[in-house]
Structure 1
Amino acid sequence: MKAAEADSWWVRHQRQLAPWLFLAPAFVLFVLYVVWPIGQSIRLSFYDWDGLGTPRWIGLGNYAELIHDADFRTALWNNLLWLVGFMLAVPLGLALALFLNQTVFGIRAIKSLFFFPFVISQVVIGLVFTWFYNPQLGLVNHVFGLIGQPDLAVLADEDWVTFAIVAAGLYPQVAYCMILYLTGLNSIRPDLIEAARLEGAQGWPMLWRVVLPQLRPATFIAVVVTVVGSLRSFDMVSIMTAGGPYGSSRVLAYYMYEQALSEYGYRMGYGTAIATVLFALMLVYILFVLWRIWRQEKDLA
């Protein structure tokens, strides 16, 4: 009788329980390899630890030091510059996608050239742009010379170095946004385009009122990936300047590495405090993204 009741209970609830059973293995792994390490990192930020000895509890001491740390403020400001500069990847990627969404001869070869930055390593891109910015042999200063401007060592200039690295980071990011928009353009409804043409729409009105509304999912993904990419910027800074000159190109991720893992620091507690601040910045944006997704699904339901 009890077995029959159990079978009957499963039959009544299997539609609600089946999705959770399929999600359970992934959820366990997510908690084990994502949530647990994040919690441990946050806990470690309340300690003074060199990575080898016994951690010493100092409470909010690391965060109090961050408030008065000029290098931390510089890194935070540079992250904001990365965020603003990286957002150029979205309109530039859209413009390239519209340009490449043609049916002329050789367009596939041209698409491959624009796709190339996305598939090569960020390290390679950083090295190539370092050569571009070379004050003696670089292409950038050669162009400056053609227009009568003096040579400028941008990677050694505290005022220009962050903008130069952001420009290098934009190179592959624009290619990624372009791919997203090319995929979105392939799903645009041709009947809406034809109807708009019959109404006399063309140029900017066609793009703004007909094309862009259908590209909203691609735009959403492009903005999310671009914002997250700007906040976790590390490799370009490490390859091109190693945080220099005089720490003026540091970002939070690189400053965290310097404090926690490089020969300049070995301050694991302080480094994880920086990582916690960076995580909090990302978490605010991620929660906003999840809220937007929930609202969209609720409207479609």
Structure 2
Amino acid sequence: MSSASTETHSRSWWRENQQKLTPYIFLIPGVIFFLFYVIVPIFESFWLSTYDWDGLGEKEFIGMANYAELFDDEAFYTSLKNNVIWLVLYLLAIPAGLGIAIFLNQKVRGIRAYKSLFFFPFVISQVVVGLIFAWFYAPGFGLFYMIIEKITGSEIAILADERFATYGIIFAGLWPQIAYCMILYLTGLNAVDPEQIEAARLDAAKGFKMLWYIILPQLRPATFLAMVVTVIGALRSFDLVSIMTDGGPYGSTRVLSFYMYEQALSEYGYRMGYGASVAVILFLIMMVFITGFIWKMVGDERKGF
């Protein structure tokens, strides 16, 4: 077969299969990056957690010794408890975001300005959020500090008090997280079927009944996404803890992601294998929640909800 006929044949084959192959051509680079930068590091973390290694010297295989030490580590249980607190309180962002989205989903004068104000926290870096709230709580000149002092007559340094520091950081994290959930619900509300709304109004449905039976069922995809990103955000809450308290006072605000960093990469640790074991536990906790959400979503889809 001549080169001209071969070239003609390849062109005709490409034209016949172009529509089938084009999606894979766009997907392959993303799949390769996901494989090397997400999947491979996950398995490397499992592998590294079975070694004692300082990041520079020789690795020493120790099997499950890191996990045995981890489950006897009081700091690990403190971090795990704080993550549970983060998870429970962070879920408040979902109903709060929904409420704000419903408020903003109106056609009134100036609503775009209100949307911009509520959207603002989402575009701010978490580092900036941490600094803003650190000043907000600061003894002596912080606005929150002065308000509490006026109301109660007592001085409370939120971030220096073991009883309140974790809750102060969570409150700071809720500010941008509520804005994110609000954006998801605003997008979902734009897709709500207006015919169903009108039909419900003709049946005298309004208020809570309208929300519960007509609007919320149509917002299931937005709720699912908000739930997933909120749970992940609560479990990987590193930056705010690092900026606002650096795990203090006395390690009381540590979370698993911060404890992983502290053990593996900070001057307190350089124990890469031990840090990897914390990362594995955190990954497994995330997988339990995400698998549960996906299982629930697939079940609802099969039932026709």
Q: Shared fold by TM > 0.5?
A: yes
Query: 2:6 maps to which residue?
Result: none
Provide the rounded CA distance (Å) in 2 between the counterparts of 1:123 and 1:132: 14
Pairing 1:104-115 to 2, within 5 Å after superposition = 104-115=108-119
Query: Per-residue displacement from partner, 1:223-250 (whole Å, max 9, x unpaired)?
Result: 1110011111100000000000000000
Query: 1:283 maps to which residue?
Result: 287
The one-letter code of the counterpart of 2:73 is: D
Query: 2:65 maps to which residue?
Result: 61
Distance 1:207 1:251, change over 3 A: same
Provide the rounded CA distance (Å) in 2 between the counterparts of 1:47 and 1:132: 43
Provide the rounded CA distance (Å) in 2 between the counterparts of 1:207 and 1:251: 36
Q: More deviation in 24-33 or 230-239? A: 24-33
Provide the rounded CA distance (Å) in 2 between the counterparts of 1:229 and 1:194: 37
8 Å contact from structure 2 (residues 228, 293) kept in 1? yes
Pairing 1:260-271 to 2, within 5 Å after superposition = 260-271=264-275
Query: 2:142 maps to which residue?
Result: 138
1:191 is matched with which residue: 189, 195, 204? 195
User: What secondary structure sits across from 1:254 in the alignment?
Assistant: helix
1:50 is matched with which residue: 51, 54, 76? 54
1:156 is matched with which residue: 157, 160, 165? 160
1:87 is matched with which residue: 77, 87, 91? 91
Provide the rounded CA distance (Å) in 2 between the counterparts of 1:131 and 1:182: 31
User: What secondary structure sits across from 2:44 in the alignment?
Assistant: helix
The one-letter code of the counterpart of 1:50 is: D
Provide the rounded CA distance (Å) in 2 between the counterparts of 1:94 and 1:175: 10
Query: 2:212 maps to which residue?
Result: 208
* TM-superposed deviation, 1:298: 4.8
Provide the rounded CA distance (Å) in 2 between the counterparts of 1:119 and 1:232: 19
Query: 1:176 maps to which residue?
Result: 180
Provide the rounded CA distance (Å) in 2 between the counterparts of 1:149 and 1:220: 44
Residue 237 of structure 2 is aligned to residue 233 of structure 1? yes
Query: Per-residue displacement from partner, 1:131-162 (whole Å, max 9, x unpaired)?
Result: 11112111112222332341211101111111
* TM-superposed deviation, 1:197: 1.1
Provide the rounded CA distance (Å) in 2 between the counterparts of 1:232 and 1:274: 12
2:101 is matched with which residue: 92, 97, 102? 97
* TM-superposed deviation, 1:24: 4.4
The one-letter code of the counterpart of 1:147 is: I
* TM-superposed deviation, 1:201: 1.1
The one-letter code of the counterpart of 2:189 is: L
Distance 1:101 1:280, change over 3 A: same
User: What secondary structure sits across from 2:79 in the alignment?
Assistant: helix
* TM-superposed deviation, 1:23: 4.5
Provide the rounded CA distance (Å) in 1 between the counterparts of 2:137 and 2:166: 13
Provide the rounded CA distance (Å) in 1 between the counterparts of 2:245 and 2:134: 9
Kindly report the root-mean-square deviation, in angstroms, between the aligned alpha carbons of the 2 structures: 2.4
Provide the rounded CA distance (Å) in 1 between the counterparts of 2:279 and 2:223: 28
How many residues in Structure 1 have an aligned counterpart in Structure 2?
293
Could you tell me the TM-score, scaled by structure 1's length? 0.90
Distance 1:21 1:289, change over 3 A: farther
Provide the rounded CA distance (Å) in 1 between the counterparts of 2:62 and 2:158: 41
In structure 1, list runs of 5 or more residues that go unmatched: 1-6
* TM-superposed deviation, 1:288: 2.4
Could you tell me the TM-score, scaled by structure 2's length? 0.89
Query: 2:124 maps to which residue?
Result: 120
Provide the rounded CA distance (Å) in 2 between the counterparts of 1:215 and 1:296: 13
Provide the rounded CA distance (Å) in 1 between the counterparts of 2:125 and 2:203: 47
Distance 1:262 1:204, change over 3 A: same
The one-letter code of the counterpart of 2:142 is: G
8 Å contact from structure 2 (residues 149, 156) kept in 1? no
Q: More deviation in 20-29 or 217-226? A: 20-29
The one-letter code of the counterpart of 2:209 is: P
